Amino acid sequence: MKLALATWVEVEDYLKDNDGIIVPIGSTEQHGPTGLIGTDFIIAQGIAEACAEQLGCYVAPPLAVGMAQHHMAFPGSMTLHPATYIQVLVDWITSLSKHGFRRIYFINGHGGNIAPTLTAFNEFYAGVSLKPETEESKTLCALASWWTMPNTDALIRDIFAEKDGAHATASEIAITQYLCPESIKPAAPDLFVAAAGTPLDIHNGYDYRRRFKDGRIGSDVRAANPEDGGRVFKQAVKDITEHCTKFFQS
C-alpha cells in the first residue's frame, strides 16, 4: 500500500483501525565503478514495499538523499548537511504523527544515516516531552538497517564472506542486480580487490577518494549476482517484517 497512490480519504479510513507506517530512507551516492548511485534507496524502498505488502500497512515515499558528505568527491553523489537531514526527518515524523500514525518504522539503506536518524528521533521526542501532553506522546519511531538484521547478516557472510567488504558491497550490488536487472553493470574481469577499511574513520569526501580511489571499501563486486541478491533480499524482507510486526504491536 503506497501512501503516494492513496487518497486522503483512504488514509483517514485506514487510521481508524491502524496506526503503523513504514518509511524507507537511503542515499544517492557512489557505489564504486559497477554499483548504482541509487543503491541505498532502491534497496530500502524495495524491502519497505515488500514488507508493507505482507503487513497490509502504508509505505511512505522514500527519503532518497541522506547524509553522505563523505562521498561528495565522486560525481553524481548528493548529500544533505547533517542538521538538514535531521530537521527533514523531524518534519516527516511530525507530519505523520499529526495525522495519527503512532508507529513509524524506518527501513534504512545507508550507514551514514544511522546516527542522524536516531538524533532526529530524539529531537521529535524532546519536542513532545517539553510541552503539555498530547496524543503525540504515543508516537514511537524505530530504525532497522537491513544489513544488520542477524539472519540477513549471517546469510551475507555465508554467501560472500570477506568479498562483501564495507562499502559498495557485493551483497548490496547483488540486490540491485535482482531488483533492477535491466541496469546491471558488469565488473571488469581484472578488477582489483578494493582496499580494506571502515567507513567510520573517514572525515570528508577528499579523504575518502584519496584512500579508496574507485569508491569501494574492501569489496570484490565480481562476486555479486542477481540470484544471490534475491536470496539476501528475501531474507531481509522476512527479518524486517518480523521485527516491524513486533514494533507495530508494541
| 138-196: pLDDT as tens digits | 999 999 999 999 999 999 999 999 999 999 999 999 999 999 999 999 998 888 888 88
pLDDT number for residue 175: 98
Averaged pLDDT, 123-152: 97
Lookup: cell for 72: 561528495
Report the percent of the chain where pLDDT is more than 90.
94
Mean pLDDT of the chain: 96
Lookup: cell for 194: 578494493
Averaged pLDDT, 227-234: 98
At residue 35, φ and ψ (nearest 5 deg) are: -90, 145
Exposure of 57 by Cβ count < 10 A (0-12 exposed, 13-18 middle, 19+ buried)? Answer: buried
Cβ neighbours of residue 116 closer than 8 Å, sequence gap 6 or more: 67, 82, 85, 86, 89
Q: Which of 51, 62, 59, 58 shows the shortest CA–CA distance to 26?
A: 62
Instruction: Give the pLDDT band of residue 97 (cuts 50, 70, 90).
Output: very high
Asked if the model's pLDDT at residue 93 lies above 90, the reply is yes
Measured distance CA(39)–CA(31) in Å, rounded = 7
Measured distance CA(9)–CA(32) in Å, rounded = 44
pLDDT number for residue 202: 83
pLDDT number for residue 29: 98
Q: What are the structural domains of the chain? A: 3-244 (3.40.50.10310)
At residue 218, φ and ψ (nearest 5 deg) are: 70, 10
pLDDT number for residue 194: 84
Instruction: Give the pLDDT band of residue 200 (cuts 50, 70, 90).
Output: low
Averaged pLDDT, 217-223: 95
Helix (H) or strand (E) holding 143: strand 140-145
- Residue 145 DSSP symbol: E
Averaged pLDDT, 18-40: 98
At residue 94, φ and ψ (nearest 5 deg) are: -60, -40
